[in-house]
Structure 1
Amino acid sequence: MNIINIIVPELPESVNNAVIIQWHKKPGDKIYLDDILVELETDKVVLEIPATKNGILNSILVDTGNIVESQQIIGTINLTKNLDNVALNITNNKNNKLKKQLNNFKKNNFTDKKINDFSPSIRKKIKTNNITIEQINDFNNLNINKIKNFHKKEKDSSLVNNYKRVKMTPIRKHIAQRLMESKNNSVMLTTFNEVNMQKIINIRQKYGELFKRKYEIKLGLTSFHVKAVSQALKFFPKLNAFIDGEDIIYNDIYNINIALSTERGLLAPIIKNTNNLSLVEIEKEIKKLVVKGNTNKLSVDDLSSGNFTITNGGVFGSLMSTPIINPPQSAILGIHAINNRPFVLNNKISIVPIMYLALSYDHRLIDGKDSIKFLFLIKQLLEDPFRLLLNI
């Protein structure tokens, strides 16, 4: 019977280690080719290790919650043609081991000692303090003072232990570090504007079903924002640039991060070359990234080399916010909930769907005039979406 090792894959560049967050199999389980054995979480992505051969999981060498490194052995697999017999043997061995541990526990515990074996004073203290036999570890040296101390510890514990301490996941630590980096290494300012979303809503209502039938994807709002940002960046290159020491790095590509909220935290995967994509292609890229984010399939490449970020707090009902720049980028656009509001159109008050936009930018690189004009151009493009299609 051959045994092979389960090995941590080569981790992406700039990633030093990972944490085991879940084993999907336990010793004795049958394993088939491409079954997911274990999930690892780095500070950027979640990695899955699949089975490379059929067999039986023989052992887990590193438990959930522990840190592992590239090429580390974390488990073993028995390679065999007769999976049923090997699985049965491993299960029997495991059951025998558990029985042995249970017998040792019974020998070394005194839970069968009766209350009547104690003195009247101790029995009274146990009763008045509502202490059960199961709560007492050392029966042989039990006395009045220990009963009092035991009751005091239980009381103190109930007062101070009204919280729990949980270690931050690698992704959450990375988010915290990036936020502090943004706060400490930029002079961040936010400017606001409002957009009449009526024309885009009309397009979605009129062509949404046709769009879905033809392209098998829903026409959303974010694709319009991505398209508007891509066009506006061409006129304001500093918002597509970043500071590197005493230099300014101007990007000639348009890679836009889309902030996604996942169970493991906020991630910002990238839609690449957005200036060359149609609304249909942008929608497909968004859907692909959302699916990958929700199923922990995002790769490091999906999260690297972005130039500008769009975050949508509106999906959670946010009316307005001051988004934090995603370093080393120089700007981020926050889009928010659409609500019907009184609005002056052609000198008349009308009820129209309004969305607030928020642009946070690094004032070291971007002047207020440029940021305001950039945001105003995005407003114009969204209020006249045919300009997006005509690229004007």
Structure 2
Amino acid sequence: MATEIKAPVFPESVADGTIATWHKQPGEAVSRDEVICDIETDKVVLEVVAPADGTIAQIIKNEGDTVLSNEVIAQFEEGALSGAAQTQAVQSEEKVEQAAAKTEAGAAPVVERAQPVADQAPAVRKALTETGINAADVQGTGRGGRITKEDVANHQAKPAAAPLTAAVGERIEKRVPMTRLRKRVAERLLAATQETAMLTTFNEVNMKPIMEMRKQYKDAFEKRHGARLGFMSFFVKAATEALKRYPAVNASIDGDDIVYHGYYDIGVAVSSDRGLVVPVLRDTDRMNYAEVESGIGAYAAKAREGKLAIEDMTGGTFTITNGGTFGSLLSTPILNTPQTAILGMHKIQERPMAVNGQVEILPMMYLALSYDHRLIDGKEAVGFLVTIKELLEEPAKLILDL
């Protein structure tokens, strides 16, 4: 029985998507709930699964085509798998189980080698040709070891083992199309600089008290809660308290209206292979330190695997970004509109500081607060940043709600 396969219903914030990869071709057998297609949107990659056992009868939307919400992308022929297909499905399942068993036992997981270029989807063959990458060098993550466009992009993003060699006088260039996510990020960043009165104020914080507390309690914390005690939970909780004291920093502008939010949803910027994403921690005023650390860890894992859902990144009243992860000593973060402020963390650097008339070497971090001057005055911005500084330098106040 022939049925239509449609694109998922996109959220209101997503206008359309692009067919990224077809994992199955017409005539190939598929089992129920098997991923047959990936659709890339401005925010996430959505998976389309088979509605039942059967085969792909016809592909209507090819790789690279734009699709709308709930648009028909293929025809599906429902029916029981053939004997050969059933054997193939069982063998595939056995491979997955064997890989999982070996991983649990401490052995390296089984990784299937990528198939030859001729066996790859048209969009993948095009990407391999344009980038000059050898298919044998790419680890395929698709079904049966197939290479996806994302695999090609990830491989290209890795540092080269050796510099490109070229004949004397030859100048090498590579042209790679932007992903939808990176294009969308570029549009939002450009809009933030053009449509807001963005200004940045700076301060510095002595990280010694938090570093000593973390050193003393990190093992007990991890044993009790099953999560690492990092610095981010202190910053999230300090920012939450500062947002309570300065409501304008937690607000947003909607046309000619100011929207004051009575809740605290803090986005934490995460770098992924597909670009910068900002998953949101909801109601951080109700979260304890362990819940913050666990939430950030879970989002980071989902970002690495490309599994972040649209709802994970929707909304948010304030954002924290940590350039110090990559060694940045000082930077000016760009607003994550429609939010009106963003906090930038940086590298912890030992510097000589004057303390009670004496010079001490202390672990210092520069903090940067970029804000929309249309809504937030300098007095509020500086007060907000000083509040975070004080709470971090005296973490007892933060924990005791002083």
2:234 paired with 1:224: yes
Residues of 2 paired with 1:320 and 1:40: CA distance? 37
Residues of 2 paired with 1:241 and 1:381: CA distance? 22
The residue number in structure 2 matching 1:134 is none
2:378 paired with 1:368: yes
292-301 vs 200-209, greater mean Cα deviation: 292-301
What code does the residue aligned with 1:192 have? F
What code does the residue aligned with 1:353 have? P
Q: Which of 209, 234, 237 is residue 199 of structure 1 equivalent to?
A: 209
2:325 paired with 1:315: yes
Q: CA deviation at 1:336?
A: 0.6
Contact persistence 1:56–1:86 (CA under 8 A): no
Deviations 1:16-49 (A, max 9, x none): 2101122233445442232222211111222111
Residues of 1 paired with 2:171 and 2:8: CA distance? 40
Q: Which of 332, 341, 345 is residue 335 of structure 1 equivalent to?
A: 345
Q: CA deviation at 1:340?
A: 1.7
Deviations 1:155-201 (A, max 9, x none): xxxx9995344433221221122112111111111111111111111
Q: Which of 168, 174, 179 is residue 189 of structure 2 equivalent to?
A: 179
- Greater C-alpha radius of gyration: 1
Q: Which runs of 5+ in 2 are unaligned?
A: 88-117, 119-168
Cα 1:202–1:162 change in 2 (3 A) is: same
RMSD of aligned residue pairs (Cα, Å): 2.3
Q: Which of 304, 315, 327 is residue 305 of structure 1 equivalent to?
A: 315
2:162 paired with 1:163: no
The residue number in structure 1 matching 2:395 is 385
Residues of 2 paired with 1:165 and 1:388: CA distance? 50
What code does the residue aligned with 1:67 have? T
Deviations 1:343-375 (A, max 9, x none): 223322222211110001111211111111110
What code does the residue aligned with 1:201 have? M
Residues of 1 paired with 2:22 and 2:86: CA distance? 17
- Secondary structure, aligned partner of 1:48: strand
Residues of 2 paired with 1:349 and 1:30: CA distance? 73
The residue number in structure 1 matching 2:15 is 16
Written as runs of structure 1 = structure 2, the 5 A alignment for 1:256-267 is 256-267=266-277
The residue number in structure 2 matching 1:212 is 222
Q: CA deviation at 1:253?
A: 0.9
The residue number in structure 2 matching 1:49 is 48
Q: Which of 343, 351, 360 is residue 361 of structure 2 equivalent to?
A: 351
What code does the residue aligned with 1:232 have? A
Cα 1:384–1:160 change in 2 (3 A) is: same
Contact persistence 2:29–2:81 (CA under 8 A): no
What code does the residue aligned with 2:16 have? N
Cα 1:259–1:86 change in 2 (3 A) is: closer
2:290 paired with 1:280: yes
Q: CA deviation at 1:66?
A: 1.7
Contact persistence 1:262–1:293 (CA under 8 A): yes
Contact persistence 1:271–1:282 (CA under 8 A): yes
What code does the residue aligned with 2:199 have? L
Residues of 2 paired with 1:16 and 1:214: CA distance? 44
TM-score, normalised via structure 2 length: 0.75
Q: Which runs of 5+ in 1 are unaligned?
A: 89-97, 99-158
What code does the residue aligned with 1:22 have? T
Contact persistence 1:332–1:359 (CA under 8 A): yes
Residues of 2 paired with 1:246 and 1:82: CA distance? 59
28-37 vs 370-379, greater mean Cα deviation: 28-37
How many pairs align? 322
What code does the residue aligned with 2:47 have? E
Instruction: Calculate percent identity across the aligned residue pairs.
Output: 44
Contact persistence 2:330–2:366 (CA under 8 A): yes
What code does the residue aligned with 2:32 have? L
Residues of 2 paired with 1:61 and 1:163: CA distance? 34
71-80 vs 246-255, greater mean Cα deviation: 71-80
Deviations 1:224-270 (A, max 9, x none): 11100000011111111122333322111111111111111111111
The residue number in structure 2 matching 1:144 is none
Written as runs of structure 1 = structure 2, the 5 A alignment for 1:29-108 is 29-85=28-84
Residues of 2 paired with 1:40 and 1:65: CA distance? 9
Residues of 2 paired with 1:391 and 1:33: CA distance? 53
Cα 1:29–1:161 change in 2 (3 A) is: farther
Residues of 1 paired with 2:81 and 2:184: CA distance? 45
289-298 vs 181-190, greater mean Cα deviation: 289-298
Deviations 1:76-121 (A, max 9, x none): 4443334345699xxxxxxxxx9xxxxxxxxxxxxxxxxxxxxxxx
Cα 1:235–1:82 change in 2 (3 A) is: closer
Residues of 2 paired with 1:24 and 1:292: CA distance? 21
Residues of 1 paired with 2:255 and 2:341: CA distance? 17
Contact persistence 1:47–1:296 (CA under 8 A): no
Contact persistence 1:8–1:72 (CA under 8 A): yes
Q: Which of 244, 248, 253 is residue 234 of structure 1 equivalent to?
A: 244
Residues of 2 paired with 1:160 and 1:242: CA distance? 52
Residues of 2 paired with 1:291 and 1:221: CA distance? 18
- Secondary structure, aligned partner of 2:300: helix
